[in-house]
A and B are shown apart, each in its own frame.
Chain A
Amino acid sequence: MKPIKMVEPPAGHSGAGFFATSFDQVIGMARSYSLWPLPFATSCCGIEFMATMGAHYDIARFGAERPSFSPRQADLLLVMGTIAKKMGPVLKQVYIQMAEPRWVVAVGACASSGGIFDTYSVLQGIDRIIPVDVYVPGCPPRPEQIIEGLMQVQELARNESLRRRNTPEYQELLASYNIQ
C-alpha cells in the first residue's frame, strides 16, 4: 500500500475536538478549493478548456465543478481566446458584474497579449481593459498548463488577505481601468 499523504492543516491550535485558526486561513482555504469558473471562451483556447473539463484532465478535481455562465455566480473569469476590439466592452461588462472576490485568468497568448494577431481589430491583451491575476501562455496552452494556471489562482486565493478588496491600492487599480 502506498503511504497516504494527508494534507497539511493550516497553522492553528488544535485540541480535543476543536481546531482554532484565523479567519484568513479558513476562508482562504475554502475559497481556493471552490473556485467556480466562468468560461469566457471565444476561440481555440475554448476547445482546450473543453478538453480540460472533460474526463481526461478533470478540472472538477480542483473545485471548479460548476462552470457558471452567469457572472454574478462565478469567482473566476477564465478568458480563453482572442478578444477583438468589438468584444472588449462586452468583456468589461461581464467583469463588472462579478462580485468580489474575483480573479481573472488570461488563458492563451491572444488573451495575454494579442497573440499572433497584431492587427487593427484585436485587443492586444485583456489587461488593457480589466486587471488580470494569472497569465497562461500557449497557443493553445495544454490542459496541464491551464490547470497550472488554476492552481496558481488557488495559491492567490489561499493567501489573500480578507481586507485586500477594500484597500486603497486595490481601489486605485480598479480606478485605473475606469471600473468602479
Chain B
Amino acid sequence: MSDIELLPKEGQLARKNQPELVEELTTLNLGPTHPATHGIFQNILQMDGEKIVSAEQTVGYIHRAFEKIAERRPFYQITTLTDRMNYCSSPINNFGWHMTVEKLLGIEVPKRAQYIRVIMMELARIADHLICNGILGVDSGAFSGFLYLMQKREEIYEIYEEMCGARLTTNMGRVGGMERDLSMTAIRKIKDLLNSLPPVLREFEELFNRNRIFMDRTIGVGAISAERALSYGFTGPNLRAAGVDYDVRVMNPYSSYEDFEFDIPIGQHGDTYDRFMVRGEEMWQSIRIIEQAMNNLPEGPWYADAPEYYLPPKEEVYRNMEALIYHFKIVMGEIDAPAGEVYHSVEGGNGELGFYLISDGGRAPYRLHFRRPCFIYYQAFPEMIKGQTISDAIITMSSLNVIAGELDA
C-alpha cells in the first residue's frame, strides 16, 4: 500500500514516481456501417477516454439524387421517389406530395378521400414510431420489445397491402384522391388493429417507461434546449420533446386534420427519455385520430372530379370516348401542369416534411426540392453528444430517428 497514493487530480490512483502520462485524444470512427445507426452515415468522434470532445459527420453515403431525377419524371411517377425518402412511413410522404401537386393544380379532394388519407397517414406515423421506439430498446440492450412491436408493424403492412398492394414503399393514392376505396377487408383489419394495438403498446410501456435501467440510460442523455433546437431547425417529435408545441397538422392543417381532436405531447428537457415518451404518447394520439376518422367516415367519392389528372375508371375507358382520350393522355404524360411555385408541408414521422415545387408548364417539375427534417436536425448531433460517453452517443442517435433515405435523398 505504500507506493500507491491518491493524486489530487480527479482522484486518480497511481504509483509514486510514475512517469507523466501523455494525454491525447482518440479518434474513433463510428460508421458508416454500424449496427446501431439506422442507415449509413459516419461520425468521426474525438474522444478523451470515454468522453466525446467533438464529432465530425459525413453524410451522403446513400445520395440518390432524387431532386435531379424528379426533373425528368411526370408528377405521378415522382410518388415512387417520395416513398423512398422516409421509408418507415411512406404514405405520409406520398400524400404530402399529392397534396402539393393538388395545390398547384387547384384540385379539391373530396372529404372521404381526405379521411382515408388521414387514416393511412396516422397508421404510417404509428409504424414509424414503432420502429423508432423498438430500435431504441434494442440499442439499449432490450431485444424483446422490438419483436412485439414488429408484429404490429406486420399488421399495418397488411392494411397497406389492402389499400395499395405494397408493404413498405407504398406509392399510395393518386393526385386527386385515392386509387381505391376502403374495402371491407381493410375496414375489418383497421378495426382489429385498433383493438389489438393498445394492449401491446401498454405492455411495451410497462417494460420501458418506468424501467430503472432504461431511465438511467436515457434521462439527461443527448439533451438540447428549446432555443438551440429552434435555431437548428428541429421539427417534429424531437422539437416537441424540447418543449415547443409546433405541429404542422395544427398550425397549417391539411386534409381535414382540423376536424379531429387530438393532443400534442411535449417534453421538458429535450433528452432521449423525453423523445421516447413523446413518440410513445403520439402513438396513442394517432390511435385516437384513427378511431375518430373510422367513426365519422363520410360517404361519397374517393377521388376528385378532375378527369385531366385522375385516371378515369376502367369501365368508362372501354365505353366512353373522352375517358379513353384522357386515359391515353395521362398515361403517356401529355398533360401539362400550370406554371407556378408552391411550397407545401406535412407533419412527417420526423417533423415538417416540405415540398417546394416549381413548375414551368411542362409535364415534369422544373425544380423540386424536399425539405427533409432528418437532414436539418442531424446537424445538431455533435452538440447534443458533447461531453457524453460513446454509449450515450449511440442512444442519442437512435432516439433522433435519423433515417438515411431522408438524410441524403
Contacts and interface: CB of A to CB of B under 8 A. Distances in A.
Asked if A and B bind, the verdict is yes
Interface of A: 40-44, 46-48, 50-51, 54-56, 69, 81-82, 84, 86-87, 90, 94, 116-117, 119-122, 139-140, 142
Nearest to B68: A119
A84 B64 CA distance: 7
Given A51-B153, A86-B61, 17 more contacts: A41-B39, A42-B39, A42-B62, A43-B39, A44-B83, A47-B131, A47-B168, A48-B168, A51-B157, A54-B147, A54-B154, A56-B150, A117-B69, A119-B69, A121-B65, A122-B64, A140-B168
Nearest to A86: B61
Nearest to A45: B168
A41 B32 CA distance: 11
Interface in B105-140: 131
Contact of A94 (B33, B35, B131): B33
B151 A42 contact: no
B167 A48 contact: yes
Given A44-B168, A47-B168, A51-B153, A87 B32 contact: yes
Nearest to B151: A55
A21 to B, nearest CB: 38
Contact of B60 (A55, A86, A120): A86
Interface in B139-159: 146-147, 150-151, 153-154, 157
Contacts of B131: 47, 50
B43 interface: no
Nearest to B87: A44
Contacts of B154: 51, 54, 56
B167 A119 contact: no
A120 B64 CA distance: 8
B63 interface: yes
Interface string B83-100: 110011000000000000
Contacts of A44: 83-84, 87, 168-169, 405
Q: Tell me the dominant secondary structure on chain A's binding face.
A: loop
Contacts of A42: 39-40, 61-62, 404
Contacts of A50: 131, 150
Nearest to B61: A87
B57 interface: no
A69 B35 contact: yes
Contacts of B54: none
Contact of A43 (B65, B147, B150, B405): B405
Interface residues of B, number: 34
Nearest to B31: A90
B155 to A, nearest CB: 9
Nearest to B403: A43
Contacts of A55: 147, 150-151
B405 A90 contact: no
Contacts of B84: 43-44
9 contacts: A43-B39, A44-B405, A46-B39, A54-B146, A54-B153, A56-B151, A84-B63, A120-B65, A140-B169
A114 B61 CA distance: 14
Nearest to B404: A43
B268 interface: no
B80 interface: yes
B62 A51 contact: no
> Which has the most chain B C-beta neighbours within 10 Å: A47, A55, A120?
A47
A84 B60 contact: yes
B32 A54 contact: no
B34 interface: yes
A90 B151 contact: no
Q: Which 5 A-B pairs have the closest CB atoms?
A: A54-B150, A44-B87, A119-B65, A69-B35, A87-B61
A165 to B, nearest CB: 24
A95 B141 CA distance: 27
Contact of A51 (B35, B81, B150, B408): B150
Contacts of A56: 150-151, 154
A24 B63 CA distance: 44
A56 B408 CA distance: 31
A51 B153 CA distance: 8
A65 to B, nearest CB: 13
Contacts of B61: 42, 84, 86-87, 90
